A and B are shown apart, each in its own frame.
Chain A
Amino acid sequence: MASAGLEAEQTEEMTVREAIRETLREEMDRDEDVFLMGEDIATMGGVLDVTGELHKQFGKDRVRDTPIGESGFMGAATGAAATGSRPVVEIMFSDFLGVAMEQVMNQMAKMRYMFGGKTEMPVTVRTTEGGGMGAASQHSGTVHAWIAHFPGLLAVAPGTPAAAKGLLKSAIRSDDPVFFFENKMIYEQSGEVPTDEDFTIPLGEASVEREGEDVTVVATQRLVGESLSVADELDGETDVEVIDLRSLYPLDTDTIVESLNKTGRLVVADESPLSYGVHAEVMARAVENAFYSLDAPIQRVGVPDTHIPFSPPLEGEVLPDGEKVRDAIERIA
C-alpha cells in the first residue's frame, strides 16, 4: 500500500500555495533550464498569488510574463522543451486551455511518439480548476479528465500541501509533459510538508490518507479534505477509508483494488463532469480488477454534466461537497 510517506521526514506546516511556490523556487535554484512563463505571473504575481516574489529572486528571464496568447506561448513552451529547456507554463484558468489545445494535443502530446522516441518533452503545465468563487462558467471549469484521457500526457491533481510539493517536483523533473491541476479553493489549506528539497512523489501513486474498513472514498483535490472531515464525522458509525488519488494518469489501480478488497464499497468523488471521466475510469478499474470484492453499487460524486453557474444557489447546487460525499457513503454503508 502506498502511503504519504511523512513519518520519517522533517516537515514544516505550510499551505498549498506556499508548497507550490517553494517547490518552484527550489527547482529553479536546482536547475537553470527550469523557467516559468504565463500571463501576469511576474510583477503581478499571478492572479492566485502563487508566483509572486519569484521574479525578484530569479529575474524576468526566468519568470516570464507572456502576452495573452495561450496558443502561442503553449507552442513556444513545447518547442522550448523539445530543444533542451524545462518550461513550467501557467495557464491562469484551466478553461483557457481551450485556446491552447492544438499545441497540447497535436504537438506536445504526440511529438515524442511521432518522432519514434527521439525527443523528450519536459514541460509542466500548471493550471487552476474548480468552482466555488462565483467566477461562472469560463473561470470555474475542471478539465483534468480530458487531459488524462488524451494519450501522451500525464496528469496530477494534489489534494494536500505535501502532495502539491511532491508531485510538482516529480512533474518538473519528468522528461514527459505533465499537467499539474490546482483546485483554486484549496490554496489556503495547510498541512505538514517535508522540507527535504528532494522530496518527490512518484507520478502514478495514490495515497491512503485515512484507513478504514467499511467504505473506500477515492477523492481528488478539494474533495480529499472534505471526505476526511466526513470520515471523522462518521467515526464510530461507518469506518471510512479515504484515498487521495493524486495522479490521474497514470492511475494507481493497485491502491484502489487493495482498499476495495478490504472494504467492498466504493465512492468516487471528483469535481469534474460525471460522464466519461475520472469517475468512470476509477469505476472501470474497480470492476475489471476487484469485481468479486464489490458488495454494493459504486457511487459517484461530481458535477452533473452542467457548466458551473454564477449565482451562489445555482453554483452550490451543482458543485460536489462533503455533504454529497456523506450522502453517497450512507447510500451504500
Chain B
Amino acid sequence: MPSIDLETETGRKEALRRMLTIRWFDTTAGERFADGEIPGFVHLYIGEEAVGVGACAALEEDDYITSTHRGHGHCIAKGLDPKPMMAELYGKREGYCNGKGGSMHIADVDAGMLGANGIVGAGPPLGTGAALTIDRKGEDRVALSFLGDGAVAQGQVHSAANLAATWDLPVIFLVENNHYGEGTPVEEQHNVENLSATAGAYNVPGITVDGMDVTAVNEAVLEARERARAGDGPTFIEAETYRFHGHFEGDEELYREDDEVERWEARDPIDSFAERLMDRGELTDEGFEELTTEAKATIEEALEYARSAEEPTPEEAYDDMFAVEVPEITSFAQQLRADGSGPKGGER
C-alpha cells in the first residue's frame, strides 16, 4: 500500500494537504530567515511540491529516501513532523538533529529519511547503500534518492547508478529538474535534452514526467517501485519542475528573467491540483480555504514550538561524534573550557 493512495478522494486531499503544508512551512522559513531569526541559510522548495509529494505518496512508510539541499519538502512529504523540523532550523535541541544539522541536514533515519544533504550528488550513493541493505536482508522495501539537475554532473551519481543497475538494487533515482544548478541554467550544464537520457548508460528505464503534476510523478514512482521490488533494478525519473524562489534565500537571481518565473508560477502545482479536484467535484473554494488555514495553523504551531524550544548547551557540541567515548574529545574540550589555563605538563 502506498503511503497516500491518489486513486482515492481521501488520498488526493491528503496529497493536497501535504503540498500546502510544504508551501507554508517554506514560506514561513523564508520570512523568518529574512527577519534574522533563522541562522545559516535556507533553500526553499516552493514550486516543487508536486514532486516530493507525488513521489513519497507512492512509497510505503518503511521505504527510505535520501534528499538534497532543498529537503524540507521531502521531509514533510515523507511524513516528518514540522515541529522538530522547524526547531532544527532554529538550531534548537528539540530539532530532529539536536541542533547539529540545520536546514541542510534534517534527517530521521527511523522514519526512513536518510538526510537532506549539503553536498550536491551525495544522496544517490547513500540510497544505493540503503537498497543494498534491503537486497541483502531480503526486505520488501525500496530506496528513493532525490537529486537535482545539477547533481547529474557529479561523478558519484554515475558511479552509484552503475553499481545499482549492475546489482539490480531496489533504488529509484528521481531527478528534480528545476532548470537551474544553483545559478546556471540546465542547458549550460548538460549536453542532453532530457536528463533521463542518463538511464541509457545503465540500461535501465529513463522517463521524463511533468513535475508540476503530482499525479504524473506519483504514477511514475509507483511503476518504478514495482520494478524495484520485482528485482529489476533502478529507474531514472526526471521530473520537470521549477523553483519559484532563488537557489537560496537572499539570492538576487541575476540569472533569470521575471517573465520566465511568471510563466512557471502560472502552472503552480498546488493551484492546478486543487482546480482538478474542484473539477471532479471533490473540493470547493471553501474546502481549499479550510485546507490552507489548517496548513497555516500547523506551521504556526511549529513556529511557536521552535521559538520556545530550548537552545542546546555549549557542552553538547562534544556529543554525538562517536558511539564510543573518545578520550581526545573529552580532554580537548576540558582544556578549552578550563579558563584557558590548559595542561601544565607532567602527570596527566
Contact = CB atoms under 8 A, between A and B. Distances in A.
Contact of A75 (B100, B128, B133, B328): B128
B97 A115 contact: yes
A116 B96 contact: yes
A260 to B, nearest CB: 11
B148 interface: no
A292 B346 contact: yes
A281 to B, nearest CB: 10
Interface in A115-154: 115-120, 151-152, 154
Contacts of A297: none
Contacts of B345: 288-292
Given A72-B162, A116-B97, A79 B122 contact: no
Given A115-B101, A115-B109, A288-B345, A78 B126 contact: yes
Listed residue (A64, A85, A174, A292) with the most chain B CB atoms within 10 angstroms of its CB:
A85
B189 to A, nearest CB: 19
21 contacts: A66-B163, A67-B163, A69-B158, A71-B156, A72-B163, A75-B156, A75-B159, A75-B160, A82-B129, A83-B130, A84-B133, A85-B133, A102-B156, A103-B122, A106-B119, A107-B122, A112-B320, A114-B97, A117-B319, A119-B109, A290-B346
Top 10 closest A-B pairs, CB basis? A75-B125, A79-B129, A72-B159, A116-B98, A117-B320, A69-B159, A79-B126, A175-B323, A71-B156, A116-B97
B155 interface: yes
Interface stretch (B110-118, B204-212, B282-290): B110-118
A176 interface: yes
Contacts of B107: 111, 114-115, 118-119
B348 A79 contact: no
Interface string B142-165: 010000000000011011111110
Contacts of B130: 79-80, 82-83
A212 interface: no
B136 A85 contact: yes
Given A69-B159, A77-B129, A103-B122, 8 more contacts: A71-B156, A72-B161, A73-B159, A75-B122, A79-B127, A112-B320, A253-B327, A290-B346
Interface in A47-77: 61, 64, 66-67, 69-77
A254 interface: yes
A135 B1 CA distance: 55
Interface in A24-50: 35
Nearest to B166: A67
A81 interface: yes
- Size category of the B interface is 35 or more
A114 B100 contact: yes
Contacts of A154: 322, 326
B195 interface: no
A137 B119 CA distance: 29
Contacts of A113: 100, 320-321
Nearest to B155: A71
Contacts of B161: 72
Listed residue (A116, A120, A175, A290) with the most chain B CB atoms within 10 angstroms of its CB:
A116
B155 to A, nearest CB: 6
Interface of B: 64, 66, 95-101, 105, 107-110, 114-115, 117-119, 122, 124-134, 136-137, 143, 155-156, 158-164, 166-167, 319-324, 326-328, 343, 345-346, 348
Contact of A174 (B127, B134, B162, B324): B324
Interface residues of A, number: 55
A257 interface: yes
A74 to B, nearest CB: 7
Nearest to B322: A176
A67 B346 contact: no
Nearest to B95: A116
B326 A204 contact: yes
Contact of A71 (B105, B127, B159, B323): B159
Given A67-B163, A102-B119, A174 B125 contact: no
Interface of A: 35, 61, 64, 66-67, 69-85, 102-103, 106-107, 111-120, 151-152, 154, 174-176, 203-204, 249-251, 253-254, 257, 288-292
A202 B117 CA distance: 33
B119 A116 contact: no
Given A113-B100, A116-B96, A79 B324 contact: no
Contacts of A176: 322-324
A34 to B, nearest CB: 11
Given A66-B163, A106-B118, A114 B322 contact: no
Contacts of A117: 98, 319-320
A151 B321 contact: yes
B345 to A, nearest CB: 4
Nearest to A252: B327
A73 B122 contact: no
Contacts of A152: 321-322
Given A69-B163, A114-B105, A79 B132 contact: yes
A84 B137 contact: yes
Listed residue (A83, A118, A154, A175) with the most chain B CB atoms within 10 angstroms of its CB:
A83
Contacts of A72: 125, 128, 156, 158-163
A83 B326 contact: no
Given A67-B162, A116-B98, A75 B126 contact: yes
Contacts of A119: 107, 109
A169 to B, nearest CB: 15
Given A75-B128, A119-B107, A106 B160 contact: no
B106 to A, nearest CB: 9
B326 A81 contact: no
A328 to B, nearest CB: 24
A151 B101 CA distance: 16
A78 B100 contact: no
Contacts of A290: 345-346
A29 B91 CA distance: 44
Contacts of A292: 345-346
A35 B137 CA distance: 12
B180 to A, nearest CB: 22
B125 A76 contact: yes
